């Protein structure tokens, strides 16, 4: 096990290790990350506003072909960034609903002002804690999910914990590879099984016209025991951060634009 980084924060030891997927296990799919302006839209300058301890992001986006917009925060480690420390859907003024699913309807010019919820989300088994860089369940939907590596005896597989709006575990799903597809099936963990959350590792391009590179690391393995896993909120780790916007176009491609800032330094 190759340890990439160890953080000691608020009495907790938070570890990041290299992710070595089994040969038969496909790495989790990550959508292409494009350079700003690669789609049919333009992202203006991202501004960081501060009022006391509150932080907010402001930007203007214009164009078309936008599916979803997220606000996002990444944590710096040298020339790479970990996260997403925070990722939330930006709500549109207008929405449409198809078969019970809400979708945003964007104007040609979008003015966005969002407050940053700068809290560190952790997952604990009652003994150890791990980074829980969760993804929202869906647009206009409560809850979130966290992917990671599940281990039970000799079995190692990619799994997803789905959390309800209160942070409790709603479902644990594993993925079995069948050719180029992954088939989900529900898991019932046994005592002693482990789950190590994924952490996305982002490497920005030297030339802004190029795309971001993304890889996967593992956070601290947590053990299924007598106590259920719990999500907890802590103050953020002191250091350098990127905050900005992640735009998903109608083809599923991602475009990022950030501004850097520091916390607790």
The pLDDT value recorded for residue 56 is 96
Question: Over the stretch 43-91, which tens digit does the pLDDT of each residue have?
Answer: 999 999 988 778 999 999 999 999 999 999 999 988 899 999 999 999 9
When divided into structural domains, the chain yields a total of 1
The pLDDT value recorded for residue 54 is 87
The answer to whether 109 touches 62, Cβ cutoff 8 Å, is: yes
Distance from C-alpha of 193 to C-alpha of 150, rounded to nearest angstrom = 7
Peptide bond into 169 cis (omega under 30): no
> What are the residues whose beta carbons fall under 8 Å from the beta carbon of 131, sequence distance 6 or more?
14, 16, 82, 120, 121, 122, 123, 197, 199, 219, 220
Residue 170 inside a domain? The answer is yes
| pLDDT tens, residue order, the chain (265 aa) | 688 899 999 999 999 999 987 543 344 444 445 555 455 899 999 999 988 778 999 999 999 999 999 999 999 988 899 999 999 999 999 999 988 889 999 999 999 999 998 899 999 999 999 999 999 999 999 999 999 999 998 888 999 999 998 888 999 999 876 656 678 889 899 999 999 999 999 988 877 667 788 899 999 999 999 899 999 999 999 999 999 999 999 888 888 899 999 988 6
Distance from C-alpha of 147 to C-alpha of 216, rounded to nearest angstrom = 11
DSSP annotation of 207 reads S
Rg (CA), the chain: 19
Domain hosting residue 240, numbered range:
9-263
Residue the block writes with tokens 């917009």: 69
Residue 203 inside a domain? The answer is yes
pTM of the predicted structure, to 2 decimals: 0.87
Residue 3 inside a domain? The answer is no
């Amino acid at each position: 096990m190759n340890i990439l980084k160890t953080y000691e924060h608020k009495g907790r030891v938070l570890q990041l290790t290299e992710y070595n997927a089994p040969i038969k296990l496909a790495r989790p799919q990550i959508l292409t990350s494009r350079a700003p302006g690669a789609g049919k839209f333009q992202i203006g300058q991202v501004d960081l506003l501060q009022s006391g301890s509150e932080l907010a992001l402001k930007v203007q986006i214009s164009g078309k072909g936008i599916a979803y917009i997220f606000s996002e925060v990444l944590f710096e480690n040298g020339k790479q960034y970990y996260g997403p420390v925070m990722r939330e859907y930006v709500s549109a003024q207008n929405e449409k609903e198809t078969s019970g699913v809400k979708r945003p309807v964007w104007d040609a010019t979008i003015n966005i002002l969002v407050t940053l919820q700068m809290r560190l989300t952790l997952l604990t088994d009652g003994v150890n804690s791990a980074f829980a860089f969760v993804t929202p369940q869906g647009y206009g939907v409560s809850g979130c999910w966290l992917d990671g590596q599940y281990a039970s005896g000799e079995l190692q597989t990619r799994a997803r914990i789905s959390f309800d709006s209160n942070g409790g575990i709603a479902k644990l799903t594993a993925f079995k590879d069948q050719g180029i597809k992954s088939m989900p099936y529900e898991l019932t963990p046994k005592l002693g099984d482990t789950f190590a959350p994924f952490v996305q590792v982002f490497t920005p391009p030297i030339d802004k016209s190029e795309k971001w590179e993304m890889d996967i690391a593992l956070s601290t393995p947590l053990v299924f025991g007598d106590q259920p896993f719990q999500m907890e909120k802590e103050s953020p780790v002191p250091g350098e951060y990127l905050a900005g916007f992640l735009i998903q176009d109608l083809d599923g491609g991602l475009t990022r634009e950030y501004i850097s800032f520091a916390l607790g330094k």
